[in-house]
Chains A and B, each alone.
Chain A
Amino acid sequence: MDPSPETLLDLHRRMVRIRHFEEAAGRLAEQNRLPGFLHLYVGEEAVAAGVCANLDDDDQISSTHRGHGHLVAKGGDYGGMMAELMGKATGYCGGKGGSMHICDLDLGMLGANGIVGGGVPIAVGAGFANKYRGSDRVSVVFFGDGASNIGAFHEAANMAAALSLPVLFVCENNEYGEFTPRDRTMAITDVVDRAAGYGMPGAIVDGMDVVAVWEAASEAVSRARRGEGPSFIEAKTYRFYNHHGVQTLGMKYRSDDELEQWKQRDPIELFEDRLASAGVLDADGAQAVHDAAEADIEAAIAFAEESPLPDPDSLLVDVYTQAEYSGATA
């Protein structure tokens, strides 16, 4: 199915919003205005945007340490995100989680994750709940090439297939786990080869082509909604910045050449060229989307900066829930 012009514009907007959030976060980090680790998603926007454009608010996703893009693509609020990155009380997690634990349960975003592979079984659990309730909701798990080496991924993939759960596995293969290239940590080139071992259909898509991602995800999501079980998509992509932060650390683990070649295939620029030649969105129209995102991000930064710090008395709040059993919930 070809995406409608509305879908194309929606995909563009999602990608642009991710890019502006991440660029702003990177700038703030370089100015030492963000505490903690920051894993930026710049370069990989087409994956989150192409997948999440197929989802509704009550479809769930689980994410990774590189999770901002997933939340923005799911409709996350810039203000709550930026405030969380700054450790403010108004942040998504009240300042307790930070970048690596950002989440929005109302949007079905079950959290970024500090543990590689940690989110994979969680998405499978969400998929189980969807099937249990007889709903046509689906869950999506985003994970890296590196994460496909951890036991949690393998156990969860097998379980999703064995129980025929409505789950979509989206591997963001950016060729590196931290500073180590994929070919030093696995003997296969395509992570998708692993899907066959668990009995689920898999596809490779160009992760710099948002329409290709959207199409593959659309098919897999429909399949899951029809009750036909899990699928696997491997998106070949690349991160434009370092594993964490913006600058490359002292160590040189990938060549400038390689980085430049991938940057030539910037997913947003590629898509804007395509939108222009298809007559869907011209350069001015695209610029307006960027400007709107930039204005939003400026407002979000101002909101976050003006926001109060968490009250030290909140330290022990929410270790446990205080709610009483209230009978069966809907």
Chain B
Amino acid sequence: MTPPTDTEERRIAYGAAFTEGLAQMMDADPNVFVAGEDVGRAGGVFGSFRGLNERFGDMRVVDTPISEQAIVGLGTGAAVSGLRPVVDVMFMDFMLVAMDQIVNQAAKLKYMFGGKATLPMTITTSAGAGLSAAAQHSQSLEAMLCHIPGLKVVMPSNPYDAKGLLISCIRDDNPTVFVKHKRLLGLKGEVPEDLYEIPLGAASTVRSGDDVTVVTYGRMVHEATSAANALASAGIECDVIDLRTLQPLDMDTVVQSAQRTSRVAVVHEAVRFGGLGGEIASQIAEEAFDYLDAPIERIGAPFSPVPFSPVLEKEWVPNAEMIGERIRALAAA
């Protein structure tokens, strides 16, 4: 799905698209409120909540203590009680502090209660390396979340998707996790002014080609696309699929492409071992084994915490060059 071409195209940043989608949902639904550290007066450490406190007041844009467990718990309790919370956990790494509330409580309440509870809560957070923020401020932990039945997880790669997916997350009656990438916040792109949804569980094909399927999401969409563009001049044409939602996965789009190209690479920034690439590769093997001409290539970060020093971090984060080399080898295999 490509963004509709507006008559007068308006380009805004990924972070601003997030803010706009949130503000529009707050306008549209009085049950939507936001809570998190520094989201109120300060407008969020990344500026993602700027102006909301002034506009909607302290009751709807709540500055919380540094208490991730209670922040997510607040959202869970308020959601069960009929509100539609958006709770922010500043860095994805800090979600680990709230893991009981996320995994044991929010994700399971509906099921454990025999379907009685409804939890329309969105947890927003920021992931990703590349800012020398070191091992506790740089992780991509989405695979952990996708492993948990009851949660939905999205990781948008561009401003248009950021706004539309956020709106869908807030409207969804399940606990959803909306993961921004810190290095995408300033990325500008076309974003319609109206309130629109991007359905959860729908991938988009950002580039078409018949030689190799590249399945990716988040910031790696950009690295993979630039690798694919470079390979095109060498005669290798890639289908680049941006998953957008990671739970549930749009495997139909992936499998159809794999059946056509017969070669698949999965690319994510998260550590390769135990990453989402393993799940995607297995599902492709289950659904399209007979179509494959080569083993599925999984590209992800090496098995170490994220290092601080820029030279090491650069080595750690997958980039277009290494992705291109691996795809080239895959195409030749």
CB under 8 Å from chain B, chain A span 220-269: 251, 253
Stretch in contact with the other chain, from B102-110, B154-162, B308-316: B308-316
B273 to chain A, nearest CB (A): 11
Can you report 23 A-B residue pairs in the complex whose CB atoms are below 8 A from each other?
A37-B133, A87-B308, A87-B309, A87-B310, A87-B311, A93-B308, A95-B308, A96-B312, A114-B135, A115-B94, A115-B97, A117-B66, A118-B136, A146-B65, A146-B66, A149-B65, A149-B67, A150-B69, A177-B37, A180-B37, A312-B311, A315-B304, A319-B304
Q: Which residue in chain A gives the minimum CB-CB distance to B316?
A: A315
- Given A35-B132, A315-B315, 10 more pairs with CB closer than 8 A: A36-B134, A37-B133, A95-B311, A96-B309, A97-B135, A150-B69, A179-B42, A251-B41, A315-B316, A316-B302
Query: Is A287 positioned at the interface, with any CB of B under 8 Å from its CB?
Result: no
Using an 8 Å CB-CB cutoff, how does the interface string of A303-314 with B read, 1 for contact, 0 for none?
000000110101
Docked-complex contact A152 and B97, CB < 8 angstroms: yes
Cα distance, A186 to B65, chains bound together (Å) = 7
Which of B65, B135, B315 has a CB less than 8 Å from the CB of A312? B315
Using an 8 Å CB-CB cutoff, how does the interface string of B106-142 with A read, 1 for contact, 0 for none?
0000000000000000000000000111111100000
Using an 8 Å CB-CB cutoff, how does the interface string of B30-53 with A read, 1 for contact, 0 for none?
000000011011110100000000
Known: A96-B307, A146-B66, A149-B65. A312 touches B37 (CB 8 A): no
Docked-complex contact B63 and A185, CB < 8 angstroms: yes
Interface centre among B64, B131, B137 (most CB of A within 10 A): B137
Chain B contacts of A251 at CB under 8 A? 41-43
Chain B contacts of A98 at CB under 8 A? 132, 134, 308-309
Chain B contacts of A310 at CB under 8 A? 307, 309, 311-312
Chain A contacts of B68 at CB under 8 A? 150
Known: A87-B310, A114-B137. A319 touches B97 (CB 8 A): no
Cα distance, A282 to B233, chains bound together (Å) = 74
Using an 8 Å CB-CB cutoff, how does the interface string of B55-72 with A read, 1 for contact, 0 for none?
000000001111111100
Chain B contacts of A315 at CB under 8 A? 302, 304, 307, 312, 315-316
Cα distance, A35 to B137, chains bound together (Å) = 14
Query: Is A178 positioned at the interface, with any CB of B under 8 Å from its CB?
Result: yes
A166 to chain B, nearest CB (A): 27
Size bracket, chain A contacts = 35 or more
CB under 8 Å from chain A, chain B span 82-113: 93-94, 97
Query: Is A88 positioned at the interface, with any CB of B under 8 Å from its CB?
Result: yes
Chain A contacts of B37 at CB under 8 A? 177-178, 180
Query: Is B305 positioned at the interface, with any CB of A under 8 Å from its CB?
Result: yes
A255 to chain B, nearest CB (A): 13
Chain B contacts of A141 at CB under 8 A? none
Cα distance, A211 to B305, chains bound together (Å) = 41
Which of B67, B134, B309 has a CB less than 8 Å from the CB of A114? B134
Q: Which residue in chain B gives the minimum CB-CB distance to A186?
A: B65
What's the A-B contact tally at a CB cutoff of 8 Å? 131
Docked-complex contact B137 and A100, CB < 8 angstroms: yes
Residues of B at the A interface (CB closer than 8 Å) are 37-38, 40-43, 45, 63-70, 93-94, 97, 131-137, 302-305, 307-312, 315-316
Docked-complex contact A36 and B131, CB < 8 angstroms: yes
Interface centre among A37, A87, A113, A314 (most CB of B within 10 A): A87
User: Secondary structure at chain A's binding surface: helix, strand, loop or mixed?
Assistant: loop
Q: Which residue in chain B gives the minimum CB-CB distance to A318?
A: B304
Query: Is A133 positioned at the interface, with any CB of B under 8 Å from its CB?
Result: no
Docked-complex contact A35 and B309, CB < 8 angstroms: yes
Cα distance, A293 to B84, chains bound together (Å) = 55
B159 to chain A, nearest CB (A): 21
Query: Is A147 positioned at the interface, with any CB of B under 8 Å from its CB?
Result: yes
Cα distance, A178 to B45, chains bound together (Å) = 9
Query: Is A151 positioned at the interface, with any CB of B under 8 Å from its CB?
Result: yes
Chain B contacts of A131 at CB under 8 A? none
Query: Is A101 positioned at the interface, with any CB of B under 8 Å from its CB?
Result: yes
Cα distance, A97 to B138, chains bound together (Å) = 12
Docked-complex contact B307 and A184, CB < 8 angstroms: no
Chain A contacts of B69 at CB under 8 A? 150-151
Docked-complex contact B64 and A185, CB < 8 angstroms: yes
Chain B contacts of A71 at CB under 8 A? none
Docked-complex contact A35 and B310, CB < 8 angstroms: yes
Chain B contacts of A167 at CB under 8 A? none
Q: Which residue in chain B gives the minimum CB-CB distance to A149?
A: B65
Q: Which residue in chain A gives the minimum CB-CB distance to B137?
A: A114
Chain A contacts of B308 at CB under 8 A? 35-36, 87, 93, 95-98, 101
For the complex of A and B, 9 pairs with smallest distance between CB atoms:
A87-B309, A114-B136, A98-B308, A95-B309, A149-B65, A36-B132, A35-B132, A179-B42, A185-B65
Chain B contacts of A208 at CB under 8 A? none
Query: Is A25 positioned at the interface, with any CB of B under 8 Å from its CB?
Result: no
Docked-complex contact A151 and B312, CB < 8 angstroms: no
Docked-complex contact A316 and B303, CB < 8 angstroms: yes
B191 to chain A, nearest CB (A): 22
B323 to chain A, nearest CB (A): 18
Q: Which residue in chain A gives the minimum CB-CB distance to B43?
A: A251
Query: Is A138 positioned at the interface, with any CB of B under 8 Å from its CB?
Result: no
Q: Which residue in chain A gives the minimum CB-CB distance to B134?
A: A98
Cα distance, A312 to B38, chains bound together (Å) = 36
Docked-complex contact B315 and A178, CB < 8 angstroms: no
Cα distance, A252 to B41, chains bound together (Å) = 9
Q: Which residue in chain B gives the minimum CB-CB distance to A181?
A: B41
Docked-complex contact A177 and B66, CB < 8 angstroms: yes
